[in-house]
Amino acid sequence: MIEYIKELSARDEEELRKTIRELLRQSCILETKYDAAKGTFKDNPRYGFCMRHREFLTDYFQVMGLELVYDPQDHFFRLTGQGAGSERFGETSTLLVLLMKLIYRDKILGQGLKATVTNLEEIRRYGSETGILTRKLAEREVAEALSLMKTHQMIELPCAIADVEDKTPIYLYHTINVFCSGAAIGQLCRKYGIKEEADENA
């Protein structure tokens, strides 16, 4: 590994450090990111770096007891294993992830990939209709859940989390389907009588 790093240019060595830090912090790197200001998707250069140095990164994280998973269908890298950031989801955050998974599924089936946008108002409506949300969530709980989902590349926001209002668009990435443990989501699906197709990719 040391020899591999020595052979890199100074620029690539710095990019390698940034990529490792990014994966450890957010656990996912997507091929494209949504640019809320322009309303379009743009290429993520970090994804290309992962592709070029995939073998080294896989070996590096393996030493740490983590696995770097590459999804060739949906085009993203994801870090998994004990201690990976994606496992730090509390019950309220998991409930909101489940609701967003349901919204994502319904919109993909009904309107296609270009319609994967939701907002807090719609999330609350889904929560009420499914019985998943039986109380009003505190602003702190919502902010914490949104922060986790944004960190782990599940959503994109056009503004700071503190500025998110009922109608603020929340852009859903396909990675919404791979976070939180399958057991946790499956248990919630059974508890609320929801078909577990919503969890098929978790």
Q: Note the pLDDT of residue 165.
A: 95
pLDDT, position 14: 94
Around 187, how many Cα atoms within 13 Å sit in the side-chain half-sphere?
Answer: 8
Res. 57: pLDDT tops 80: yes
Tokens 């270009």 belong to: 114
The single residue listed with the structure tokens 């919109």 is 107
Report the pLDDT value the prediction gives residue 160, as an integer from 0 to 100.
Answer: 93
DSSP string of the chain, one letter each residue = -HHHHHTS-HHHHHHHHHHHHHHHHHSEEESEEEETTTTEEEE-HHHHHHHHTHHHHHHHHHHTT-EEEEETTTTEEEEESTT-GGG---HHHHHHHHHHHHHHHHHHHHH-GGG-EE-HHHHHHHHHHHTS--SPPPHHHHHHHHHHHHHTTSEE-SS-GGG--TT--EEEPGGGGS-S-HHHHHHHHHHTT--GGGGTT-
Distance of CA 84 to the CA centre of its chain: 13
Higher pLDDT pick, 90 / 54: 54
pLDDT digits (tens, 9 = 90+) for 109-139: 766 555 589 999 999 999 999 888 888 999 9
| Average pLDDT along the chain | 84
pTM of the model: 0.78
Q: Cα–Cα–Cα angle for 196, 34, 80, nearest 5°?
A: 50
What per-residue confidence (pLDDT) applies to 70? 95
Percent with pLDDT over 70 in the chain: 82
Domains of the chain: 2-85 (1.10.10.2250), 88-199 (1.10.10)
